[in-house]
Amino acid sequence: MRPSDEMRRQARDLSISVRPELRLIERRLFLRQTLSLGALTLLTGCDATAPSGVQSILTNMSKFNDAVQAAIFRQDRLAPTFSEQDITKPFPFNAYYSESEAPVVDLATYKLELSGMIADRTPWSVEALRGLPQQSQITRHCCVEGWSAIGKWGGVPFADFLKRVGADLTARYVGFRCADNYFTSIDMASALHPQTILALTYADEPLPVKYGAPMKLRIPTKLGFKNPKHIMAIFVTDTYPGGYWEDQGYNWFGGM
């Protein structure tokens, strides 16, 4: 039986409706040489020709990526570091809003709020955070959009801070809420990585607004969207917290 014009139209409309999602699947295939879209379809039992099936594949692919990245992550494996001559000038501004819309937080009244599985939830001022031992690093920031830049960041080693406030280091997640309404979360192992810092400076100067003042998380083992800026609150939990981009389909682990 030859397909009718109506059948051809329906097939064309379906192809158009799932094409963006299929491109997402192609970008998210973690082991490109060993896992194809066809193989993933068989593994998940989903129909890649239907929108609902595509969404199921995307969800399963994201979970698969997270599990594989978490399995191969090592706390003793460091991200590359660079020299002063390698720094990108100017270091680019990046956010889901324009630079003029970046929030200005009053440092005089700023208090970092702590909650969840933390023994000492006393809020921290910027001055108190600057009084802790600091660490400097020149590392590469990699954006999920495909660009990268090298910058010099300084601040408090996050592992030291979590231990100081009595965070439960056996908890699964550390979450962040920010002044620009951004939020994200990371796994505890990544939080304790020796290069993960609460950045208070850029290029040896107080962190400017465009880079996340009064404080951002600098975690060079993860993609840029896992480096929240303008941090106002940190919490520790065993309940999956999600994130701004993660809730819209980005892989949660976000490792490089």
* Residue given tokens 């819209």 in the structure block: 248
- pLDDT of 51 reads 55
109, pLDDT greater than 80? yes
The DSSP result for 50-101, as a single string, is SHHHHHHHHHHHHHHHHHHHHHH--TT-PPPB--GGG--SSPPP-SSS-GGG
- pLDDT of 30 reads 44
94, pLDDT greater than 90? yes
- Nearest 10 degrees: CA dihedral of 244, 245, 248, 250? -150
Among residues 188, 193, 182, which one has the least CA distance to residue 224? 182
106, pLDDT greater than 70? yes
pLDDT bucket at 77, cuts 50 / 70 / 90: confident
Q: What is the pLDDT of residues 42-54, one digit of tens each?
A: 545 555 455 554 4
DSSP 163: H
* Domains of the chain, each with CATH number or no CATH: 5-72 (no CATH), 84-248 (3.90.420.10)
Q: What whole-number distance in Å separates Cα of residue 115 and Cα of residue 198?
A: 17
13, pLDDT greater than 90? no
Q: What is the pLDDT of residues 199-211, one digit of tens each?
A: 999 999 999 999 9
Q: What is the pLDDT of residues 169-200, one digit of tens each?
A: 999 999 999 999 999 999 999 999 999 999 99
Q: What whole-number distance in Å separates Cα of residue 79 and Cα of residue 221?
A: 6
The CA-based diameter of the chain, rounded to the nearest angstrom, is 79
> Which whole number is the average pLDDT over 9-31?
46
- pLDDT of 81 reads 97
- Catalogue the E-assigned strands of the chain: 113-116, 135-142, 148-157, 173-178, 183-187, 197-202, 205-206, 216-218, 231-237
